[in-house]
Structure 1
């Protein structure tokens, strides 16, 4: 029942067939109008654009709704473009090696034999260790850059590229000092990456990682450059000679050897390390360092790092006091800063040049050095047999000595 608001009288609607038909027609027209306007809204047009100036609104609403309207597509972002460009040059590396476990000599004692009997093995035990990592193609002839620890000691290396083809890889050389390796596969016309310049990186720039973490092939993660110049001791690998890039792009086991990219799709680093228990912290070898090592591995199969033969520590006032108060230190320090030589290796280039334990280094080739990492970098950037001019303090007087770096013995951890 309809109620007139003006006089509050009740009316009963007419029940003629004509009035019912007119009511049904109104409902149909309203439904068509809703469909029409909805479709135009989805297709990005204003409702008014579907009306003609010469038509009445009733005529326009009565027209059938279009049936070929498509939803708008989302534009691809820069990460998608980077992945499409670089992804085909990122590879999976599966390696295996046989590890032999020697029996301790004590197990050959007859008393152990009599007690354990047949439970004691009589021959060295062998087992096969398998690992998975990543890499990226730097030359179309099949030269692949990856981490040394991915292929170190491997008996077999298999490389799978994104299009599904698999190749037997040959390790051309490894450098455990920087954790860089080159693997070669027999192929041609392969997709390659474009290398950037890691010296120009600044914290806050975009970072994109591609690799095979935890066996999940072709995984893409993104973040930013969190920091540059992280020392090997800060990362927890003091035996390496690398100033690492830090990123919050997710890096997991299996990402090792994969590329870290900038927003233009250029490789700026090689993913290599994570700190156990940390979240949002990953580290990469700067591509300038990796490329320099890769060139030597391709040309010579090995790398010779300049070497001094000293153990050193960055001085602080607290460290100075601890050394001077320790009668077993064998040293007396009379200044609060600089880099203290704690030990000089016998027959090393440093020993031959006259450096001594207790010397405090302040400059190399006229450039101030603030910490031990500065000296490490200066030595690494030098050439074998070149001259490094050290300005130091010894026994309360200033001195200058010339040191010629020698070849780094891989088995030693001294800088």
Structure 2
């Protein structure tokens, strides 16, 4: 009779121990150490610091970007009546700006400081100053503010004429009261003359860098840490917003005029314009025997102001404007921008199509009257 021993042999014990050891290795939380550890990946080597151009650009310009706080005093028509509150009420506003001269010259948007009775300027290092508005230009939305200081950090100005779509764009400002906020994107387009409505005199830079209320007046900079634009407007669109900036070359030109005379000068020729389409041309041709327009896209003169530079230069209603100076134009905004690049009193060639004729007319722009 064979006896089966209940005591395992040495070989069986070793095999069983190995099997249990292998199984226990596949059970979570059974290994040595902290059972609550989420990852057991080996530690990786520290990343070597690289040259982040956004960080470098922000380090270069950031100290010169300021927050602008404004107070406007407005008349309350119900003040003192039936509990309608005080007759004079205060409205607070906020925007951004950037220092361009170490003695306290600051560029911002005209709409940031419009009507402000008090202007406060705060630097990223915490210093605060009372600001004085030296002048503003509502046509281009550029304003200059001055603070009494010396040795302030300044933002280098670039050349917006060299900006191309696809280049990096970095916005710095104080959106929604969040100081020194940095966002980045690319230049989506240049020369956007119809960005915020017809008849504008600004060839905007368009970018997809996030810009929000409070960013107005802050700088748009390139990857080299140079200001290429002044953030000024946004348009909401499905999926994302579109942001627009005043080219710094235009901002610099307007600021120089404000520093010299306290105001900006704009030439005008005195015409009312309309975008032309083939359909509109057919409708006009069918209803107006005196106006025969080519069935094309372009910009047509609707009215010439009596006694204006355009009238003296020979422009007429129904003229199709094709070129102003050396610039081809396709819409009213492009005509405005081209005229604005001229000088008051200097001859400006305006090429028009009048019926079957193509004419080159000489117009001398006059000073655009200021609106109160």
Pick the TM interval, shorter chain. Answer: 0.7 to 0.9
Answer 1 or 2: which has greater helix percent. Answer: 1
- Aligned counterpart, 2:121: 159
> Residues of 2 paired with 1:102 and 1:410: CA distance?
28
Mapping 1:121-160, distance limit 5 Å = 125-160=87-122
| Deviation readout 1:61-84 (Å, 9 max, x if unpaired) | xxxxxxxxxx55644622111111
- 1:125/1:181 CA distance change after superposition, 3 Å: same
Within the candidate set 311, 333, 337, 1:351 is matched to 311
Determine the structure 2 residue equivalent to 1:115: none
Report whether the alignment pairs 1:407 with 2:372.
no
Q: 1:404 to 1:11 in 2, by over 3 A?
A: closer
1:332 aligned onto 2:291: yes
In structure 1, what is the Cα distance between the partners aligned to 2:91 and 2:268?
Answer: 33
1:184 is matched with which residue? 146
Q: CA deviation at 1:237?
A: 4.0
Q: 1:9 to 1:238 in 2, by over 3 A?
A: same
SS of the residue 2:100 aligns to: strand
Partner residue of 2:67? 92
Deviation at 1:130, TM superposition (A): 1.1
**Displacement after TM superposition at 1:399 (Å):** 3.0
- Structure with the greater alpha carbon radius of gyration: 1
Contact kept? 1:148, 1:174, Cα under 8 Å: yes
Matches of 1:227 and 1:366, distance apart in 2: 21
Superposed, 1:12-23 pairs within 5 Å as none
Q: What SS does structure 1 have at the residue aligned with 2:241?
A: coil
Q: Contact conserved, 1:341 with 1:360, CA < 8 A, in 2?
A: yes
**Aligned-residue RMSD, C-alpha:** 3.2
TM-score (norm 1): 0.75
Shift of 1:226: 1.0
Identify the residue that residue 344 of structure 2 maps to in structure 1: 384
Residue 10 of structure 1: aligned partner: 12
Partner residue, 1:58: none
Change (3 A) 1:290 1:83: same
Partner of 1:295: 256
* Post-superposition offset of 1:408: 1.0
> How far is the alpha carbon of 1:243 from its aligned partner?
0.8
Match of 2:278 among 314, 317, 328: 317
Q: Which runs of 5+ in 1 are unaligned?
A: 14-30, 32-40, 45-70, 104-117
Indicate the SS of the match to 1:370: coil
> Structure 1, residues 150-195: CA drift from partner, whole Å, max 9, x if none?
0011100000001101000000110000000000000001000111
Taking the TM superposition and a 5 Å limit, the aligned residue runs for 1:193-204 are 193-204=155-166
Q: Distance in 2 between matches of 1:79 and 1:157?
A: 30
Asked whether the equivalents of residues 179 and 240 of structure 1 are also in contact (C-alpha less than 8 Å), the reply is no
Q: Give, in whole Å, the separation in 2 of the partners of 1:254 and 1:366.
A: 38
Q: Is the 8 A contact 1:209 1:251 kept in 2?
A: yes
Q: Does residue 248 of structure 2 align to residue 246 of structure 1?
A: no
Q: Name 2:323's counterpart in structure 1.
A: 363
* Range that drifts further, 269-278 or 249-258: 269-278
Matching of residues 103-114 of structure 1 within 5 Å: none
d(CA) in 1 for partners of 2:243, 2:223: 18
Normalising by structure 2, we get a TM-score of 0.83
The equivalent residue for 1:106 is: none
Q: CA deviation at 1:245?
A: 0.7
Offset at residue 102 of structure 1 (A): 4.6
C-alpha contact (below 8 Å) 1:334/1:396 kept by paired residues: no
Q: Could you say which residue in structure 2 is the equivalent of 1:77?
A: 52
**CA positional deviation for 1:364:** 3.2
Number of residue-to-residue matches in the alignment: 343
